[in-house]
Amino acid sequence: MDKGLILIVEDEPAIAGILEAYLIRDGYRTISAADGEIALRHYAMLSPDLVLLDVRIPKIDGFEVLTRLRRESNVPVIMVSALAEDIDRLSGLRLGADDYIIKPFNPQEVVARVNAVLRRTRNNMANMTVRFENILIDFDAHAAFVDTEEERKLLPLTLSEYRILAYMIRRPTHAFQRNDLLDACLPQSDALVRTIDTHIANLRRKIEVHGGPSGLFPAVRGIGYRLSEPR
């Protein structure tokens, strides 16, 4: 079972390797970054489900990475540090972290914290609605709608189409890679990456036919798709 993608931001290879091994054993996929610049690039390209973020990392420290993430995303973040002054700042979680872990730690405890944070945030998301223009996603109902002047229309989406739309609507101008969309929305599938093109074409057509905005899902050359062009 694929439980999601975890971005491990840690400049000590041994610690990163241990975290990776325990998370993979628990069913997660992982990607690692040894400094803040790489972490932000990985986040922009891969949209991980959670970030394990060490505070004392090169180039851009963990506090600044968290600040930049929070400008555009509510991705769950667990901060990691051994220094007392960092712990004092993290204890209030004023910067927007979802949890913090003190070094040295038990890797099994880290996995338990990851599970708990994701369970909490996903449960919160299940009771949310998200809107983009006149498209509405009801996560609790697991349904998508288009609001027109006359009525609210249910979009007749397949499960894969719904997952893609629900995934992209949270970051409508973000450029998603085809592989990323495939992993996030069709995790148990053996489908080829180009299958995403068919799902995107069907989504675009169904949204337009039912009164939604035209021109959605523009292709991003060499990458994949975004829901809408930046304005």
119 and 142 housed in the same domain: no
Average of per-residue pLDDT across 6-21: 96
Task: Report which residue type is found at 156.
Answer: P
pTM: 0.62
pLDDT tens per residue, range 100-140: 888 889 999 999 999 999 988 777 665 578 889 999 998 77
Provide the number of structural domains found in the chain: 2
Q: Which two tokens stand for residue 190?
A: 């053996």
Rounded to 10 degrees, what is the CA torsion of 168, 173, 178, 184? -30
Measured distance CA(185)–CA(4) in Å, rounded: 11
Predicted confidence (pLDDT) per residue in 58-99, tens digit:
999 998 999 888 877 778 999 998 876 666 655 445 567 888
Task: With respect to residue 230, please indicate whether it lies within any of the assigned structural domains.
Answer: no
Query: 159 and 218, same structural domain?
Result: yes
Domain closes at, from 125, 143, 170? 125
Burial of 84 (0-12, 13-18, 19+ CB in 10 A): exposed
**CATH number for the domain harbouring residue 167:** 1.10.10.10
pLDDT of residue 125: 63
Enclosing domain of residue 86: 5-125
Same domain, 44 and 77: yes
CATH code of 94's domain: 3.40.50.2300
- Token pair 């979680």 is found at 93
| 149 in the same domain as 43 | no
Each residue's pLDDT tens digit, 198-214: 999 999 999 999 999 99
